A and B are shown apart, each in its own frame.
Chain A
């Protein structure tokens, strides 16, 4: 979760009803991305609501006051645009990418979609089999199961331990009233972040947003305490056997600095050094030496209880060897890491951002994520300078404070014979 600073092009507005709006003007493209983010995801659900944030995301496409069911798809696709949405553990967002002349129509669609949904009972029933098919489709993939099991092992208290999509038992019981309550709690102006990226006029966007989203009166948003995960002192391990897999999957993770914290930028640099791209240490020493078929690293970009992971596919019989070598590489990094490697890693991160934001929807996503999840636009604006300020000792400190000799959780998925 990284992004590039373009501070001079950004305008931010706070509407009287609490809506946050960020407009990024870009002259190098004819495409406009419009995003509406809400600070609510599956981590905000209580036990009976498991899967509701995601279910609600589906339901919003089932008709609004102005546009009957199906019409929004026709409008956006008829204008050559794309409309979609996504739900995570911390956020839900709705987005359209469309040619420049049609951004106002797109904004109106997003307004109706997110602020005027009908949430009809018969549509709730219509949507259940679709979402259950989505859930089963996920279960049909061994890698989805692997990641679900990994979070279940890593988090024992935090709601992060539950899958976003929820459970068949909870989904089957959803009804209009439950959804309406959840909707009213969280789809409020004060919980909303609108991002527009493209060759648009700041003030014009501001005026249009005032005319639509700005009209909503809104009400306070209930404060949800996402239970923190207590410190753990032991390593946790789990082996899963699955008939379908043809190779072993290994996932190992440690607690990591929260996104946006000072230490986080050092983690991003460490991640680049260890597992990002073909120049990374693990790619060279594990993949190119034939120990694994693939290897990658990353973090979950979470505002608390974040985690850093290493993921690899390998032959089951080489597991111990791979694990030992991985730990050895991490351990010896302390002595081997040079200033030059840190400098190069930083350059790679910063340079890569120019490619990442070529697509307007990518830039809008970064801004939306910074606002909604990190809670700080500065995360986006000053990302580059924060990465530049990371020193070798910062990288090593993160390594020592979070990874070396620290408790980990690991899942190994192997073939059931």
Chain B
């Protein structure tokens, strides 16, 4: 076992490790480009720091993002889509909790036109009444359909429980009563308030020469308004353990728990990433070994530690038969808090994270996504290159300490028939 672990430390491996060029436009917008070699394809992601922070009507940011692809003063929805799809690529726009993102892929020869269309989406979107009403119906339906799946119901209930009175309380899709009320003026106002060059990061990775694409990028983004929305995340503390039970007909019960976790800016972030991996990532993890393999409670069991601007949580999940759910809940808490962890578990988890991180960088879209995400969230894009080292630098003692410090109380939800 040990020789394998040492091996990974000796050999430096990188995926898509080209040089990154950084450019800040006069309006404050940051551009990152990376050259790759391949069949002449390119992907990009535009991140706007905003997410659902400061939304008055919940769901307005998501609707705004969706409508960006539905028509501008110069291009209709079909023209927008075909700009990317004709080259075998695609385009999406969506809102998350902390960021709004627009991602795309195309061939290098189509990049010029793609950027023209993106410029038009950003600076002259139509936000037509007709499209808005249709997309509202779609969102309302999507919100209702979350009740069809136990896992989504559990996630929604857990958000309400653990993020009460903050923007994270509601998923980016929004809340039914608010979505119904959203008017065209709300969308226009939201877009005006969040479209700010200083809050925007553009990341482009592809088989091009950086010198050739930088002028195009400058032209595309130089007219974005300089200032705008200031994101002010609210901190929601976990005060005491809570349990909520939700009813839903079905053949399975879902158990989902949130635990306190460190902020990404803290020194403890990477140690906690390792802890999360030890507990709930993959077939060698504690939750998998104990709850699935040893107890036979479930097919699916895992934990995650999503990166957020504030109020981070570790989330643990298990889907089980209704008659097993009480034991599953009890044992899930026990594994998360008390299962023995040894130095070898920590080394294994570190290698797992580094390996996954590198394998996740195979596509240009993911490479662009990581660079832009790290920059927009405030890590700085360089962490994309030092991430493996930072994970490797975590010690057994670091993991032990963060576990003792954070995994004390929990907010849990069960969805059961």
Contacts and interface: CB of A to CB of B under 8 A. Distances in A.
B379 interface: no
Contacts of B149: 140-141
Contact of B141 (A73, A244, A246): A246
Contact of A74 (B1, B37, B38, B69): B1
A350 B77 contact: no
Contacts of A349: 88
19 contacts: A29-B15, A61-B283, A73-B282, A77-B348, A78-B348, A79-B4, A79-B7, A97-B359, A130-B292, A133-B252, A137-B251, A139-B251, A140-B150, A247-B144, A293-B137, A293-B141, A352-B89, A354-B88, A358-B362
Interface in A163-211: none
B85 A359 contact: no
Nearest first, the 4 closest Cβ-Cβ pairs linking A and B are A80-B355, A351-B88, A129-B296, A352-B88
A243 B249 CA distance: 7
Contacts of A30: 13-15, 358
B105 A133 contact: no
Contact of A78 (B77, B297, B351): B351
A218 interface: no
Interface string B73-91: 0000110011001111111
A233 interface: no
Interface in A76-96: 77-83
Given A99-B358, A348-B85, A80 B137 contact: no
Contact of A133 (B1, B141, B297, B347): B297
B115 to A, nearest CB: 18
Nearest to A143: B148
B81 A360 contact: no
A136 B251 CA distance: 6
B148 A99 contact: no
Contacts of B300: 134, 137
Nearest to A141: B149
Contacts, number: 189
A246 B144 contact: yes
A336 interface: no
A101 B296 contact: no
B148 A142 contact: yes
Interface in B349-368: 351-352, 354-356, 358-359, 362-364
B358 A244 contact: no
Interface in B23-53: 36-41
Nearest to B252: A140
Contact of B39 (A100, A129, A354): A354
A277 interface: yes
B250 interface: yes
Given A70-B289, A79-B355, A126 B249 contact: no
Contacts of B1: 74, 78
Contact of B88 (A141, A290, A353): A353
B202 to A, nearest CB: 20
B283 A77 contact: yes
Contacts of A313: 141, 145
A105 interface: yes
Contacts of A352: 88-89
A28 B363 CA distance: 11
A12 to B, nearest CB: 22
A284 interface: yes
A79 B145 CA distance: 40
Given A74-B348, A358-B362, A130 B81 contact: no
A162 to B, nearest CB: 19
Given A80-B358, A244-B148, A278-B85, A358 B363 contact: yes
Contacts of A347: 86, 88
B107 A351 contact: yes
A227 interface: no
A348 B88 contact: yes
Interface in A49-87: 61, 70, 73-75, 77-83
A126 B295 CA distance: 9
B4 A105 contact: yes
Contact of B4 (A78, A100, A140, A359): A78
Contact of B13 (A99, A136, A139): A99
A63 to B, nearest CB: 12
A73 B283 contact: yes
B85 A136 contact: no
B320 interface: yes
Contacts of A246: 141, 144-145, 147-148
A307 B354 CA distance: 42
For this complex, into which size category does the number of interface residues on chain B fall? Answer: 35 or more
B319 interface: yes
A133 B356 contact: no
Given A31-B15, A245-B148, A293-B142, A348 B250 contact: no
B160 interface: no
A165 B338 CA distance: 35
B5 A78 contact: yes
B85 A279 contact: yes
B223 interface: no
Given A80-B354, A279-B82, A244 B137 contact: no
A371 interface: no
Interface in A321-349: 344, 347-349
B213 interface: no
Contacts of B320: 133
Contact of B356 (A80, A128, A244, A290): A80
A129 B296 CA distance: 6
A83 B283 contact: yes
A171 B281 CA distance: 28
Contacts of B363: 355, 358-359
A9 interface: no
B252 A137 contact: yes
B11 A247 contact: no
Which one of B105, B250, B358, B359 has the greatest number of beta carbons of chain A within 10 Å? B359
Which one of A29, A30, A142 has the greatest number of beta carbons of chain B within 10 Å? A30
B352 A77 contact: yes
B88 A247 contact: no
B41 A355 contact: yes
A139 B358 CA distance: 35
A140 B154 CA distance: 14
